[in-house]
Structure 1
Amino acid sequence: MQPLPEIPLIANPITPEAKQAVGFKWSDAGGRHKIGGCPDWIQKKEIPTCEACAKEMRFYGQLDSVGDALCIADCGRIYVFVCFDCHQSKSIIQSN
């Protein structure tokens, strides 16, 4: 299955509260957001199957931890997968 075209996403906080939430004191995490391409797994490969049709789902994108105030499981990421046939989605969290 061909991956979707990779589109890097850049966080652009607008409000003062959002600007304060971005960034880590002790990590360079926070800039690994994207749509498409292949997952940048932190741990082992973990591709889910669709509950409706049992086919392997396609990687849609990943969201990185944003900052110390919005950290996902020790500077982890959320990976989003979609079944384009059944319009189902699943997400997976992995951490360092």
Structure 2
Amino acid sequence: MLTSGGTPAPDAPVLRTGGVPLVPPGFTWPACAECEGAMQFIAHLPLDDGAVAVFYCQNAGMCDDWDATSGANRAFLFTEELQAAEVPTEGDTLLGAVTLLHPEAAPAPDDVVLGQLGGEPEWIQNDETPTCPRCAAPMTFTAALEEGLHHDTAANFGCGCGYVFTCRDCSEAAFLWQR
């Protein structure tokens, strides 16, 4: 389980929601394929061999931001050296707060669970494991993200849960959410 561990620096290379994404040099901030607006950065997930950055469209109700293949969300698996991204000046591009996430096998009774790292996904609806766009193999579940501590500073999954998947062989990542 992932629990809240305080507030790190916005560009800290730690497991967190919010803040500024860490990206390779030359990175272009993703835009929604449906409305063309700048996506919102929601999570930085360090892995043994890289890091995943998760983004999704904040044009609620207009774009299919829950679908892993709609183009209204993006997850990137980076394996190179990373730096803080240049944040677009227009659009709802950052969450209202940065939250450090602690992986814990057995959270304390008063801990707020904010997700899960590895293991098997606990689907709210049906299994929607995406396939890798390069090799067509089922992707590996990497993390689940709950909305967050406060509605005004958290990702909006319609009271649902976000799911992050990777294909490490192809350096691909995917994101979707369910409610």
C-alpha displacement at 1:73, in angstroms? 2.7
- For the pair 1:75 / 2:159, whether they are aligned, the reply is yes
**Structure 1 residue runs without a partner (length 5+):** 1-7, 20-29
**Structure 2 residue runs without a partner (length 5+):** 9-95, 99-111
Structure richer in strand, relative to its length: 2
Pick the aligned partner of 2:131 from 39, 49, 52. 49
The 5-angstrom pairing of residues 1-96 of structure 1 reads 8-14=1-7, 18=97, 31-66=113-148, 67-69=150-152, 70-95=154-179
Identity, % of aligned pairs?
34
Deviates more, 1:81-90 or 1:65-74: 65-74
What SS class does the counterpart of residue 90 from structure 1 fall into? Answer: strand
What SS class does the counterpart of residue 141 from structure 2 fall into? Answer: strand
CA distance in 2, matches of 1:91, 1:18: 21
The one-letter code matched in structure 2 to 1:73 is: F
CA distance in 1, matches of 2:162, 2:116: 11
Deviant stretches of 4+, over 6 Å: none
The one-letter code matched in structure 2 to 1:60 is: T
TM-score (norm 1): 0.69
